[in-house]
Amino acid sequence: MKKSIFRNTGLVTLVSLLMACGGNNNDAEVPEVQTPEVVVPETPVPDAPEAAEIINGSFEEDAAGQTTPVGNWVFRPDQESSASSTIEVIESEEVVNAYKGTKAVQVTVNTLGDNPWGIEIAYEDIPVTGGKNYEFSVWAKGEEGTSADFWIQTPAPDYGQLSLVKETLTGEWQKITLTAATAEADSLVRLAIHFSKEENINKSIYIDEFSGFILDDVPAEEIPDVQYSEVTAQSLKALAPNFNIGVAVPAGDFGNSIIDRPEIKTIIEQHFNQLSAENIMKPTYLQPTQGEFFYDDSDELVNYAKDNSLTVHGHVFVWHSQIAPWMQSFQGDKAAWITIMEDHITQIATHFEEEGTNDTVVSWDVVNEAFMENGKYRGEKTTSDSADESVWFENIGAEFLPLAYKAARAADPDADLYYNDYNLIWNADKLDAVISMVNDFQNNGVPIDGIGFQSHISLNSPDISTIQAHLQKVVDIRPKIKVKITELDVRMNNEGGIPLTYLTSERADEQKQYYYNIVKTYLETVPEDQRGGITIWGVIDEDSWLQNWPEPTTEWPLLFFNDYTAKPALQGFANALKELIEVVEPTPSSELLTNGDFEAGLDSWQARGSASITLDATQAHTGSNSALVQGRTETWNGIQKDVKGLFTAGETYNVSAWIKLSDDTSTVSPGVKLTLQIEHASTEYLELTPVTTVSAGSWVQLSGTYTHSITTQESVALLYVESNEITADFYVDDVSLTLLEQ
């Protein structure tokens, strides 16, 4: 440490003055005063931030023309067949085409790839400490209007996004800064820079001086009270009653199960008319042990759907992922593999198939994700990606696909059969491969009804023109097939250098507009007879799989906040439906009963007493269905419907039902009538029609009028069919209750 010494001369001056005023040489000698040293501490120099371990971040260790630089740099000029570029280290004067020193990288784009990562430079495997904040920077220069995407990601194969900056270049050197928070488990990250953009064709971009360091811990940001734009949409399904608007949810013991979550059920029943089984119909859940099937959770979901007039889209019969260990390690020849696949499909499809055409499970993803991004079959090992594995392709070959669809059709003749995959909405190579497969299916009599676009996408990426073009490709397939968006969510927290800690109102409105654009584009592009519908992959944001993929993060990809309130995104969805779905208002009817013809199944009808009721599609007075009543042990046993609130005191009603005796009770000729059980101050049983004799072989009408004389509000009102012959089994159809005009 340096020291500064100052001498105190004040006392010496005073002694000299006294001597001059009368002192003599006999006076005692004044001793010399020793002045102390005064030490001024040096201002401490702050410690430099801990640098990330990056070797050759400035390319100064490389020679001009080098395409395999020192360190962990990787140049990929053509990751896919349709992309090409020249990437090499160059030598230049400082500040001209090298930011510092004399070396930099030059990227010259020749031909674009279909994918934004087709042309890339990357620095792989940067060691990091988990749970820390990092700041990385790199310098870039390109002709004005050129651009590049700069990413900090976790390593392959996940490539989890930690930070992204999309930068338009100006012709001068620009510093690109990326701030990334590592998860506790992170030990390595990578820098990736992508150049596959139309504005870069025949242009050069220069990259130099990559570095990074750990940031000091910063205090948690205080989240303000955000005022989001108003949401007035009351019901999505009411805006489009004949259009599948789905949502993915599980049942069972999952944390986001619909069971014991009344708030989630309220949202579902208000806005959606179709459910997708999120995980509980995947192979590992339905057949965890060979030959032993587990349906408890999926049955719970299907029964909930049935009880609330919802349909179910089944997901999924055959997938390379989420298969049970026994299936992954199965030992057998090709024939044995075909047998276990076909048996899996047949058992499950048969379990959920219902009599007649009124199934609850109305469609299936038969095969999921059978293609890689380059359009080759997964399992064909055309890439070095560890995800390029599939027990089905590797043990059966491409033949597994048509065999799967044939097995599904044989087991469920009425269900729509889909092929489902991710990135189809922007990856042309992959979509073209799927379309080629569909064309081959149709040419060879293999059943397939639709293509499912998973659509796990990011805000405004892909752009709407790309989405439209890819939907149109499937719309144009002949013979026609259906188009379904099967797993839609919109990742929000992935743009800009610093991740968002809360959803701003501006960002929420961007999401609203993007959802509007997606739904609008779908409805404008896909004709009504080819619309399979749109399904959102989850209800509230915190239940989304994106909160933990590829690592813990904060995301807002869905239509509802965590407090179950609607987000502006819901309004965007609703606005598109209102603009493009024409709802034909039904002609006013005096009919007070709903589903009296059983065309909607047994919805709202119940068994009375010990009777059992089943939907029957072999006998019908009109339409396709009737209800079969069996197992009666008392005369009042039968079939009933809640009619509470339908009657008004002083009004007269016409009541009617059509009855046909079952052939197995043809030896009896029972009397049958319609009765009203009503509870107000007391319980009464009111005969609505005369007792009418019915027999096997023909339909007989019960008919009568009823004047409601009760003035108090009833607590129970049940309309039911009963018979004086307890052994009689009978069909019921076309039950009606109409107000007679006075």
Residues recognised as catalytic: 369, 487
In 3D, which of 153, 144, 236 has the Cα closest to residue 191?
Answer: 153
**Distance separating the N- and C-terminal Cα atoms of the chain:** 110
Phi/psi for 71 (5° steps) reads: 90, -155
In 3D, which of 383, 367, 371, 375 has the Cα closest to residue 323?
Answer: 367
Q: Rounded to an integer, what distance in angstroms lies between the CA atom of residue 145 and that of residue 646? A: 69
Give burial (CB, 10 Å; 0-12/13-18/19+) of 161: buried
In 3D, which of 647, 643, 741, 659 has the Cα closest to residue 693?
Answer: 659
Helix %, strand %, coil % for the chain, to 5? 20, 30, 50
CA-to-CA separations, 494 to 491, 501, 555, 650, in angstroms, rounded:
7, 11, 9, 65
Report yes or no: 179 and 500 within 8 Å, Cβ to Cβ.
no
Q: Rounded to an integer, what distance in angstroms lies between the CA atom of residue 134 and that of residue 52? A: 8
Helices and strands per DSSP (H, E), number in the chain: 13, 30
Instruction: Write down the residue that tokens 């024409």 correspond to.
Output: 582
CA-to-CA separations, 706 to 637, 686, 710, in angstroms, rounded:
22, 9, 12
Q: Rounded to an integer, what distance in angstroms lies between the CA atom of residue 96 and that of residue 430? A: 41
In 3D, which of 172, 104, 119 has the Cα closest to residue 141?
Answer: 172
Number of Cβ atoms within 10 Å of the Cβ of 380: 16
